[in-house]
Amino acid sequence: MKRIKMPENLPRPVVLLSHRAPVAFRRSADGKRTARRGAGGLVTALTDLSTQLEDVRWVCAAGGGEDVAVAAEHPGEPVPVALTAQPRVVSRDSTEDSVVPLRFVDVPEDQHERFYGVISNPLLWFIQHGLYGANSPDLGDAEHHAFSEGYVPVNEAFADAVAEEVEAAGGSALVMLHDYHFYLVAERVRKRCPDALISQFIHIPWPGPDSWRLLPPSMRERLLHGLLGNDVVAFHTEGSARRFLLSAQELLGLRVDLDTLTVEVDGRTVRARYYPISIDVASLRELASSKAVVDRIEDLSQNLAHGECQLILRVDRTDPSKNIVRGFAAFGLMLEDHPELAGKVRFLALLQPSRLDVPEYAAYLSAIAAQVARINARYDHLDYEPIDLRLIQDLPLAVAAYSACDVLMVNAVVDGMNLVAKEAVVVNRRDAVLVLSENTGAHQELGDYAVTVYPYDIRQQADALYEALTRPREQRRANLRDAAGVIERNDIAAWFSAQLADLAR
Ligand code: GDG
C-alpha cells in the first residue's frame, strides 16, 4: 500500500529530477553486477518518498559505465528498480510497492566535469554559501567555457530527458526538480511541455542579489530566467525565498510581491515558497536500534564516552561551508581556557571526504588535518589526544555517535538546513546539547533548544562549547525532548505533503 495520497487535482505522473541516482550499479572483481543504494541526505529522503508515490519516475545522472549498461538493456523506457535496502532491477510489470522507474542520463565525461567540477561545485556552491573572499572567484576563459559548454548543454540534456518522460505520459505531469545543478531545466521543459506543473526545490541557501553580482549578467540572468521557468521555486527558509525574489527584482527588474512571495514574469506568476526539509524519524530510530549501531555504541562507550569523560561530536562532509577548521580552533581555545578539562573531554569528528577532485575541497581537507595535528600535538605530553579525527563513511557509526555524544557541534558558515542536527536530537540518549550555527536552516526550528554559535567568532564558539559541556542536566534533558518533538511533528512526510498541498492549490 502506497502511503502518500496525491491530491486529486494534481497532474500525474510525478517526474523527479536529481543529479544523484538512488541506486549505483557496478561490476565487482568477480565480474558480477552489484547494486547499492545511493548515498547522501537528499537521495535518501527522496528514495523513501518516491517508493510511496503511486505514479512516479525519476530522472538522474548515470554514475558510471554499469549504470549506462543497465539503461541500454531497457531501450526507450526507464529501468524499473525495486528501491529496497538491496536494490534490484525488476520486470516492467512488477507490482512491488518499492519499484520506481529510473531514467539514467549519460553525458560526455568532459562536459560533465565542466558542469559539475567547475560550475556547480565550486562556483555556484561557493557563491550560495558566501565562501568567496575579496580576491575570488577568477572567471577566465575556462569558467566561461565551462558554463557554455558544460552547465548549459548538461542542463539541456537533463531537461530533454524530463520532457520526454512528460511527453510519454501524455504531456501533463507534476515535475519536481532538485537543486543547483539544474537551474536551466525548468525553462526548457516548460517550452516543450506547457501543460506540466513544474516546481524546483533548492537545498542550499539563496544569497542576496549582491552575491550574484560575482557573476556577469550573461550568467546570472540566464540562471535566474531558467529558474523562473518553474511555477514554484522552493527553499528551506523564508529568508532564502525572499532573497530569491529580491534577486529577480534587482537583477532582472521584475515586479515582485514580498507579502505573497510572488514574482511576475512573461505574464505568469511564479511563487517562491519555503518548506524546511526533515528526516524519517521512524526509520532512523529503527536503524538506531539495529545491531550494527548498538555494537558501535558499545565500542564508543568503552573508548570515548565513558564515566566522567564527555564526548563532543561532529558529522560532516569535508566541505568548507561546514566550518570544520574554525570549530577545531574553538575547541583548542576552550581547552586552553579550561586546562582542568584536559583528559576529560574528547572531540570525535566523523568526516566524509567530499568532492576531492575539486581543488578547493582537497585544500580544505589538508587544512583540517593540519589543524587537528596542531591541537593534538599540544597535549602529547599528557598522553591525551583531544581530537579523534576519522575520515570515514559509515552511517551506523554516525548514528551510534549521535546516540552516545554529550554535545553535537554544528557551526556551519551557512547551511540550507543541516540534517545532522535533526538526526542527532531524535536518537541521542545522553541528554546531548546541540551547539548550532545561527546560519543553518535548522536554527529556525531548533535554535530555542540549542546553544547558538556565530560561525566566524572562534572566541564565542569556544565559550559556547564550554557552556554546552557544563549545562545542568535538567535543562539539557528538557531541551533535547523539546527539540525531538519539533522534528517528530515536522518529519519528511510532512515536508513533502506540504509541497503537494500547496501545488494542488
Ligand atoms: C545538503 C545541504 C541540506 C552522515 N554520515 C554519513 C552519512 N551521513 C548523512 C547524514 C545526513 C547527510 O549525510 C548530511 O546531510 P546535511 O543536511 O547535514 O548536509 P549536506 O550533505 O550538505 O546536504 C543541507 C541537505 O542537502 C538536505 O536538503 O540539509 O543544508 O547542504 O543525512 O546522516 N551518510 C552515509 N554515510 C555516512 O557516513 N551514507
Among 419, 487, 499, which residue has the most ligand 1 atoms within 8 Å of its CB, making it the best to mutate? 419
Q: Of 275, 418, 490, which is best to mutate to test ligand 1, by the most ligand atoms within 8 angstroms of its C-beta?
A: 418
* Nearest atom within ligand 1 for CA of residue 392: 38
CA of 418 to the centre of ligand 1 (A): 7
Q: How far is the CA of 397 from the centre of ligand 1 (A)?
A: 14
> What is the 314 CA–ligand 1 centroid distance (Å)?
12
- Count up the domains in the chain and report the number: 2
Q: CA 373, CA 409: separation in Å to the nearest integer?
A: 19
Q: Is 117 contained in some domain?
A: no
Determine which residue's CA is closest to atom 27 belonging to ligand 1: 42
- Cell representation of residue 468: 554546552
Dist CA 117 CA 430 (whole Å): 41
Question: Are 18 and 165 contained in the same domain?
Answer: yes
DSSP state, residue 39: P
C-alpha 25 to ligand 1 mean position (Å): 22
Each of the 505 residues of the chain gets a pLDDT tens digit; together they read 667 889 999 999 999 999 999 999 999 999 999 999 887 778 888 998 999 998 999 999 999 999 999 999 999 999 999 999 899 999 999 999 999 999 999 999 999 999 999 999 999 999 999 999 888 999 999 999 999 999 999 999 999 999 999 999 999 999 999 999 999 999 999 999 999 999 999 999 999 999 999 999 999 999 999 999 999 999 999 999 999 999 999 999 999 999 999 999 999 999 999 999 999 999 899 999 999 999 999 999 887 766 679 999 999 999 999 999 999 999 999 999 999 999 999 999 999 998 888 889 999 999 999 999 999 999 999 999 999 999 998 999 999 999 999 999 999 999 999 999 999 999 999 999 999 999 999 999 999 999 999 999 999 999 999 999 999 999 999 999 999 999 999 999 999 999 999 999 8
Q: What is the pLDDT of residue 482?
A: 98
Q: Which residue has the cell 574553538?
A: 330
Q: Could you tell me if 197 and 234 are in contact, meaning their C-beta atoms sit under 8 angstroms apart? A: no
Whether residues 268 and 322 share a domain: the answer is no
**Taking a C-beta distance cutoff of 8 angstroms, is the pair 287, 399 a contact?**
yes
CATH number of the structural domain spanning residue 24: 3.40.50.2000
Do you know the residue count of the chain? 505
Query: Residue 130 falls within a domain, yes or no?
Result: no
- Specify the pLDDT at position 274: 98
Residue with the nearest Cα to atom 8 of ligand 1?
Answer: 395
- Asked if residue 429 and residue 358 are part of one domain, the reply reads yes
In terms of residue numbers, what domain contains 211? 14-106+161-277+494-504
39 CA → ligand 1 middle, Å: 9
Ligand 1 geometric centre to CA of 315 (Å): 9
Residue holding cell 572567484?
137
Give yes or no: residues 462 and 350 share one domain: yes
Residue with the nearest Cα to atom 5 of ligand 1? 395
Contact of 17 with 163, CB cutoff 8 Å: no
Pair (287, 272) in one structural domain: no
Cα distance between residue 252 and residue 212, in whole Å: 12
Phi, psi of 288 (to 5 degrees): -65, -25
Q: Is 416 in the pocket of ligand 1 (CB under 6 A)?
A: yes
467 and 392 assigned to the same domain: yes
Q: Which three cell numbers stand for residue 286?
A: 529503527
Q: Tell whether 242 and 374 lie within a shared domain.
A: no
Kindly state whether residues 296 and 182 are assigned to the same domain.
no
Please report whether residue 175 resides in a domain.
yes
**116 part of a folded domain:** no
Task: Specify the pLDDT at position 399.
Answer: 97
**Paired residues of 487 in beta bridges:** none
Helix (H) or strand (E) holding 209: helix 209-212
Cα of 423 from ligand 1 centre, angstroms: 10
Distance 27 CA to ligand 1 centre (A): 26
Distance between CA 316 and CA 322 in Å, rounded? 7
pLDDT recorded at residue 38: 84
| Whether residue 260 is found in the same domain as residue 340 | no
Query: Is residue 155 in a domain?
Result: no
pLDDT number for residue 308: 79
Buried b (16+ CB within 10 A) or exposed e, 181-218: bbbbbbbbbbeebeebbbbbbbbbbbbebebbebbeee
Same domain as 272, residue 341: no
> Which residue minimizes the CA distance to atom 36 of ligand 1?
395
Q: What 3-state DSSP class applies to 350? A: strand
For residue 320, being part of any structural domain is answered with yes
Handedness of CA 228, 232, 237, 242 (dihedral sign): positive
Q: Is the dihedral of CA 213, 320, 236, 7 positive or negative?
A: positive
CA 340 to ligand 1 center in whole angstroms: 34
What pLDDT shows up at residue 10?
95
Contact 205, 240 (CB under 8 A): yes
Residue nearest atom 19 of ligand 1, based on CA coordinates:
418
- Could you tell me if residue 131 is inside a domain? no
Same domain, 364 and 273: no
Q: Grid coordinates representing 116?
A: 559539475
Whether residue 361 is contained in a domain is answered as yes
> Which residues make Cβ contacts (< 8 Å) with residue 490, sequence separation at least 6?
276, 278, 445
Strands 310-317 and 255-257: unpaired
By the 8 A CB rule, do 150 and 111 touch?
A: yes
b/e for 72-94, b at 16 or more Cβ within 10 A?
Answer: eebeeebbbbbbeeebebeeeee
260 and 301 share one domain: no
Out of 285, 410, 417, give the residue to mutate to test ligand 1, the one with the largest number of ligand atoms within 8 Å of its CB. Answer: 417
The answer to whether the pTM exceeds 0.85 is yes
The C-alpha cell 537533463 sits at: 158
